[in-house]
């Protein structure tokens, strides 16, 4: 008699679910998304990964993590487009979900209800520490939420905040280490206080 692990059963039985990977910048969200998608591909599942068309930092088409791991993706302008590509798919990955419209919540629910595993990665807070885009609602409807952390560049504690180091008040500002740094709560509050004094 062959006994299968719970992981194996979950990978082979088609049951829809929503998994959210959230955290600050430089916390490994995209890295974890790529890892889960590659594992699903290895299990011979049909996968498709989507990213916002505006995110061209590393590549026009691929999803690329900060440490240069990548996976082929489909750039899209609106969440509704996801439904056009997923009729024969087992696992859907969505990167930088905070940049999508609020329709993403219904899209993810629809996919999961149709038996598709949906894996979402995104920033849970913007640079002001406010909930970002559809991420709070996605966390609410998710079957599983993984909060990942960066390391605070000031003190070495776990970091949950993305501090913007350049003067720009737009909520969406695509950037890297030149524009953002991960900070713990205490260092973030201190840095925000310094920012306000500079204004």
183 exposure class (CB count in 10 Å sphere: 0-12, 13-18, 19+)? buried
Dihedral pair phi/psi, residue 104, rounded to 5°: -60, -30
Q: Which amino acids are annotated catalytic?
A: 96
Alpha-carbon distances of 55 from 30, 36, 68, 186, rounded to whole Å: 13, 21, 15, 30
Q: How far apart are CA 133 and CA 77, in angstroms?
A: 15
Distance, C-alpha 15 to centroid of its chain: 21
């Amino acid at each position: 008699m062959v006994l299968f692990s719970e992981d194996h059963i979950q990978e082979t039985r088609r049951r829809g679910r929503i998994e959210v990977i959230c955290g600050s910048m430089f916390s490994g969200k995209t890295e974890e998304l790529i890892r889960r998608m590659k594992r699903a591909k290895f299990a011979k599942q049909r996968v498709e990964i989507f990213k916002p068309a505006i995110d061209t930092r590393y590549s026009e088409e691929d999803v690329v993590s900060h440490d240069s791991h990548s996976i082929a993706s489909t750039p899209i302008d609106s969440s509704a487009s996801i439904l056009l590509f997923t009729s024969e798919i087992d696992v859907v990955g969505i990167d930088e979900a905070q940049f999508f419209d609020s329709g993403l919540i219904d899209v993810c629910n629809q996919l999961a209800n149709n038996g598709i595993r949906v894996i979402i990665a995104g920033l849970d807070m913007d640079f002001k520490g406010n909930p970002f885009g559809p991420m709070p609602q996605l966390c609410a409807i998710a079957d599983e939420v993984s909060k990942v952390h960066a390391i605070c560049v000031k003190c070495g504690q776990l970091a949950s905040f993305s501090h913007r180091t350049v003067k720009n008040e737009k909520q969406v500002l695509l950037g890297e280490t030149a524009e953002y740094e991960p900070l713990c709560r205490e260092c973030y509050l201190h840095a925000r206080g310094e920012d306000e004094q500079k204004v």
